[in-house]
């Protein structure tokens, strides 16, 4: 497999798989995202169409631009994840507000009842860890690693 083809595959699979995991943990596992969790998702949402454009336009120079932009979006999510993980581990202070998920709609009484029943999710407490690494930490590791891999493959492909 040529290096650019591999880079395009990594650029598409990384955000798709990480978002599948994030949305699965939310809707199947019941782990509600905090505000910084949402921040990490936006660059992945942007990386998916950028990677698709890189695949569709692979024979053109602009395809490489879209591939680089996808890598930078993935890197951005990883950087936000690293910041969020640092907040969770108490290395630095993060947001002072919390977020919650509440259904809107219905009467004012219905909206108030839904808001009061919705979970409050703190950004400074990891809801789940594996080996001491939170979901934000895993996003940081995987996203930064993938972005560097994509950029490295692009650099090597350009030199050869």
User: Taking all residues of the chain, what is their mean pLDDT, rounded to a whole number?
Assistant: 88
Within-domain flag for 115? no
Dist. CA 6–CA 20, nearest whole Å: 21
Of 87, 56, 72, 81, whose CA–CA distance to 139 is shortest?
A: 81
| Burial profile 79-89: b = 16 or more Cβ within 10 angstroms, e = fewer | bbbbbbbbbbe
Residue 49: CA count within 13 A, CB half-sphere: 4
Asked whether residue 18 is assigned to any structural domain, the reply reads yes
Work out how many domains the chain is built from and give that number. 1
Whether residue 114 is contained in a domain is answered as no
Is the pLDDT reported for residue 96 higher than 60? no
- In this prediction, residue 97 has a pLDDT band, given cuts at 50, 70 and 90, of low
Residue 101 covered by a domain: no
Phi, psi of 121 (to 5 degrees): -115, 120
Residue 90 has pLDDT above 60, yes or no: yes
pLDDT tier for residue 94 given thresholds of 50, 70 and 90? confident
pLDDT surpassing 70 at residue 60: yes
Predicted confidence at residue 129, as pLDDT, reads 74
Q: What is the DSSP pairing of strand 129-130 with strand 120-121?
A: unpaired
Task: For 125-146, write each residue's pLDDT tens digit.
Answer: 778 778 988 999 999 999 999 9
Residues 6+ apart with CB under 8 A from 25: 31, 128, 135
The predicted model scores a pTM of 0.83
**Domain containing residue 43:** 3-96+124-159
Domain membership flag for residue 85 = yes
For the stretch 11-44, pLDDT in tens is 999 999 999 999 999 999 988 889 899 999 999 9
In a domain, 109, yes or no: no
Assigned domain for 108 exists:
no
Q: With pLDDT > 90 as the criterion, what percentage of the chain qualifies?
A: 59
* Domain-embedded: residue 16: yes
């Amino acid at each position: 497999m040529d290096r650019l083809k591999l880079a395009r595959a990594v650029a598409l699979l990384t955000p798709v798989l990480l978002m599948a995991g994030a949305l699965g943990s939310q809707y199947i596992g019941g782990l509600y995202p905090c505000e910084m969790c949402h921040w990490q998702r936006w660059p992945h949402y942007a990386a998916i169409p950028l990677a698709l454009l890189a695949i569709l336009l692979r024979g053109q120079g602009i395809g490489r631009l879209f591939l680089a932009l996808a890598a930078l979006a993935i890197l951005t999510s990883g950087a936000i994840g690293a910041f969020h993980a640092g907040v969770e581990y108490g290395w630095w202070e993060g947001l002072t507000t919390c977020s919650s998920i509440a259904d809107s709609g219905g009467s004012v009484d219905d909206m108030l009842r839904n808001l009061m029943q919705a979970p409050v999710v703190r950004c400074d407490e990891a809801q789940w860890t594996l080996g001491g690494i939170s979901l934000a930490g895993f996003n940081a590791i995987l996203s930064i690693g993938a972005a560097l891999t994509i950029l490295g493959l692009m650099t090597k492909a350009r030199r050869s």
